[in-house]
Amino acid sequence: MKATRRLVPLLAPALFALTACGIPATGVVQAGGPASGIVPATPVYFVRDGALVAVSRTTPSPGDVRAAVELLFAGPTPAEGLGSLSTEVPGAPAAVPPAPGGAFAVPGKTPADTPTVSVKGDTITVRLPGGIDRLSRLATRQLVCTAAAAHRIGTPSADTVTVTMSVGRWHARATDGNCPGG
């Protein structure tokens, strides 16, 4: 009993120090909306000084390969064009302003004028719209790198992504092994 009486006076200051740490009690503090995490974005590859450059574009579905290819066909924004970005993809405008809500659309284009995209495993097939005879080597790399980068967001464990492209009698097949950052 004597030991207990001696311990109580020694423990009281320690307990007081733990409960009174100097932080005043407050109510609920209004500080805005909930944390939103990472903004969903997809890399789209454009050209600067003959080399591919990835540009991060905000999109509702970052792993959506079709959306990424459509962003590529929309071309660089006016601000990106001023930053010396261009595209080798035929039919893509030099610079397209974003539509309301941040979406990119190619003015005057109909669904028949846009590429069709399908994905099976780690193989992406892109059927180019009419009016394009073929893609240059650099345009092919733009398309391959953009499509593969979007695919890798949804399938990060993919070893090699293969992209096949066709329009009319022209066909090409390439992998993302030569893509910057890949």
For the chain, the domains span 41-178
Percent of the chain topping pLDDT 90: 43
In this predicted structure, what is the pLDDT of residue 69?
93
pLDDT in tens, 5-35: 555 555 555 544 545 555 555 555 555 555 5
Average pLDDT over the chain, rounded to an integer? 77
Residue 167 near residue 180, CB atoms below 8 Å = no
Task: Give residue 134's Cα distance to chain centre.
Answer: 26
pLDDT in tens, 66-111: 999 999 998 998 888 788 899 999 875 544 444 444 444 444 444 4
Spatial separation of the C-alpha atoms in residues 60 and 170, rounded to whole Å: 32
Residues in the chain: 182
φ, ψ of residue 70 to 5 degrees: the values are -65, -40
Tokens of 23: 């932080």
Asked whether the predicted pLDDT for residue 181 surpasses 90, the reply is no
| Nearest CA among 160, 72, 90, 164 for reference residue 127 | 164
